[in-house]
């Protein structure tokens, strides 16, 4: 009966179409339109990967996640308990853009709750081990933006989650920053509201955290993030402002020019798992020292799962609060962050950061980024080829074929899609799918061999076809791409930047394999495993045309 009563009340609120005022960014803080500062009191709200829509959030059997924003009944069940925590933000890690989100978003709005959504999903994200920013990812990101942009209680989006989580994967940051750039440009090109922001959620790696933070907040403002999320689990048990490293993080980010907040927090290694969490860090996070720099945080996580971080357990329509729910509620009830009104606030830290310099732990130069994926360009290029890769090549064979063809003729067959993050050189066709890129490599080699019939075989994996003559817009697109590829062959187009690094204690997010977002995704991308003209060639997943 309690659940039904709550459902009825939320339905009444939703039916009134309550519209929350959009949150605005001013300097390094969030504000309501009336000038009141906004602090995030959030929870991570999404159940585990691989549920296949079992919760009822989606009926698409090809979607290997349950979109909580598409589950109106689930939202109505959970929101009354969120209100007990004074929750004002939920973070969701994977949204299905083909589903309708009206019911849940209206219920959240009626309860005064905003949304920050990741743009990726478990099977489609920027894979740190073989990073790509291609047409398929671009389509995914922009479709999520399209599906949520109409709701005024959407603060913005994360273009990546812990993609670069140690020094081995710093190159991936260039691809995430390209995604940030293009997501922001897409929002602007569609004339969506200017209070729709794009950020990044970073982990707490001691060796690169400062460089990652500087990189995403340096260079051209159009390429930089609008807000910064920080997944941090360093306050465990009976810790302190100093011992946890919170004081150091405040010092490091005191001059950051955009809002920063904990995009995940809530260590459970103190003993007793989730039940042992007392959330004593809440007093520090919303206290006088930290609230001048940080805009609150998002507790990981709402649902109790095998990783033992849940605030509640859910069985059907029944919600049971757990011990840490009560502990969090008690701690949040005690805090009142130090705030400032927008009228009285003059940002003193408006300048972007200096870009990191190249060194052993940082392999990304600035300001060059991978190109914006252009489906028209890729289609034009593919249509112009006489030697094409067969469409039935297995994903396992793709890497081997790239290795073979890119090793011919000093790597020239693959200059059109090379990627070197340390020099900032990227081929114009880097954003095309692997079928198109492999075909380009085959065709380039084929023509360099005088179009000899035996030069388009590759053990039966390629076929000679009738190429289409470029016309209309394809002519200009291919001409510009050809010029770019020629400059790569000549060795021009490199760039470098400057910056600093940090090396202190670190923490990492829990149970990565069970979480949404790039950290929990193995991906199906293929690392081509070779260098072309000294540049790493990075490939995405095999896409059959």
Residue tagged active-site, from 162, 252, 281, 301: 162
279 sits in the region (left: phi over 0; alpha: psi -120 to 50; else beta) called left
- Provide the b/e sequence for 99-117 (b: ≥16 CB within 10 Å): bebebbbbbbbbbbbbbbb
Closest CA to 245 of 201, 210, 199, 200: 210
Name the helix (H) or strand (E) containing 313.
strand 312-315
Q: At what angle do helices 473-489 and 375-383 cross, to 10 degrees?
A: 90
In sequence order, what DSSP letters do the residues of 456-478 get, joined into one string?
S-TTTTEEE--PPPP-THHHHHH
Whether 264 sits among the annotated catalytic residues: the reply is yes
In three-state secondary structure terms, 146 is helix
Query: Given its phi and psi angles, is residue 490 left (phi above 0), alpha (psi -120 to 50 degrees) or beta?
Result: alpha
Helix 434-448 to helix 395-406 angle (10° resolution) is 30
User: Is the four-CA dihedral 121, 122, 123, 128 of positive or negative sign?
Assistant: positive
Pairing state of beta strands 535-538 and 527-532?
antiparallel
For residue 356, give both structure tokens: 């990191």
Q: Supply 501's token pair.
A: 């690094």
How distant is the alpha carbon of residue 115 from its chain centre?
Answer: 15
Instruction: Please provide the DSSP assignment of 337-400 as one string.
Output: -----GGG---S--SPBPPPPPBTTB---SS--PPPP-HHHHHHHHHT-SEEE-TT--HHHHHH
Cα torsion angle, 470, 471, 474, 477, sign: positive
**Active-site position among 121, 252, 264, 301:** 264
> Among all chains, which residue has been given the structure tokens 């249509």?
383
> DSSP string covering 482-503, please?
HHHHHHHHTT------------
Q: Are strands 197-202 and 154-161 parallel, antiparallel or unpaired?
A: parallel
Residues 365 and 358 sit within 8 Å (Cβ to Cβ): yes
CB-count burial class (<10 Å; 0-12, 13-18, 19+) for 354: middle
Structure tokens, 414: 């693959």
Residues making up the chain, counted from first to last: 545
Q: With the C-alpha atoms ordered 216, 297, 231, 319, is the resulting torsion angle positive or negative?
A: negative
Whole-angstrom distance, CA of residue 427 vs CA of residue 417: 4
Query: To 10 degrees, the CA torsion angle through 323, 305, 315, 330?
Result: 20
**Other Cβ atoms closer than 10 A to 283:** 14
Has 162 been annotated as catalytic? Answer: yes
Catalytic positions are 162, 264
């Amino acid at each position: 009966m309690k659940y039904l009563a709550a459902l009825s009340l939320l339905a009444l609120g939703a039916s009134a179409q309550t519209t929350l005022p959009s949150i605005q960014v001013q300097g390094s803080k969030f504000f309501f339109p009336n000038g009141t500062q906004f602090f995030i009191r959030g929870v991570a709200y999404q159940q585990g990967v691989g549920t296949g829509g079992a919760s009822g959030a989606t009926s698409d059997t090809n979607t290997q996640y349950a979109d909580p924003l598409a589950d109106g009944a689930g939202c109505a069940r959970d929101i009354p308990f969120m209100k007990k925590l004074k929750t004002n933000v939920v973070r969701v890690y994977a949204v299905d853009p083909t589903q309708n989100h009206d019911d849940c978003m209206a219920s959240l709005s009626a309860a005064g709750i905003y949304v920050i959504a990741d743009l990726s999903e478990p099977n489609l994200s920027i894979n740190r081990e073989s990073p790509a920013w291609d047409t398929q990812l671009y389509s995914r990101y922009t479709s999520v933006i399209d599906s949520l942009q109409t709701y005024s209680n959407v603060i913005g989006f994360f273009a990546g989650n812990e993609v670069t989580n140690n020094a081995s994967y710093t190159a991936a940051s260039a691809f995430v920053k390209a995604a940030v750039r293009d997501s922001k440009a897409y929002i602007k090109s569609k004339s969506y509201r200017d209070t729709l922001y794009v950020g990044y959620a970073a982990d707490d790696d001691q060796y690169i955290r400062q460089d990652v933070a500087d990189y995403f907040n340096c260079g051209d403002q159009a390429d930089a993030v609008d807000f910064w999320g920080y997944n941090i689990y360093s306050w465990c048990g009976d810790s302190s402002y100093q011992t946890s490293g919170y004081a150091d993080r405040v010092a490091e980010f005191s001059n950051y020019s955009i809002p920063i907040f904990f995009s995940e927090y809530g260590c459970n290694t103190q003993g007793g798992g989730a039940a042992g969490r007392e959330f004593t860090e809440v007093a520090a996070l919303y206290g006088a020292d930290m609230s001048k720099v940080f805009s609150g945080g998002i507790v990981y996580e709402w649902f109790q799962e095998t990783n033992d971080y849940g605030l509640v357990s859910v069985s059907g329509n029944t919600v049971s609060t757990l011990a840490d729910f009560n502990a969090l509620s008690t701690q949040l009830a005690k805090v009142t962050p130090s705030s400032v009104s927008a009228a009285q606030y003059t940002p003193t830290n408006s300048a972007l950061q200096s870009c990191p310099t190249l060194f052993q732990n940082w392999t990304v130069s600035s300001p060059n980024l991978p190109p914006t994926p252009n489906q028209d360009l890729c289609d034009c290029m593919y249509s112009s080829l006489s030697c094409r890769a067969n469409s039935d090549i297995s994903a396992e064979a793709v890497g081997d074929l790239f290795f073979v063809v890119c090793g011919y003729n000093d790597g020239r067959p693959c200059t059109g899609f090379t990627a070197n993050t340390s020099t900032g050189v990227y081929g114009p066709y880097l954003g095309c799918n692997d079928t198109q890129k492999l075909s380009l490599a085959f065709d380039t080699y084929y023509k360099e061999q005088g179009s000899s019939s035996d030069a388009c075989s590759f053990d039966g994996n390629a076929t000679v076809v009738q190429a289409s003559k470029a016309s209309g817009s394809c002519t200009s697109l291919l001409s510009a791409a050809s010029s770019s590829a020629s400059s790569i062959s000549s060795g021009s187009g490199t760039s470098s930047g400057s910056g600093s690094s940090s090396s202190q204690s670190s923490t990492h997010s829990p149970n990565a394999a069970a979480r949404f977002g790039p950290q929990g995704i193995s991906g199906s991308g293929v690392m081509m495993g070779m260098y072309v003209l000294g540049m790493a060639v990075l490939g995405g997943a095999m896409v059959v045309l």
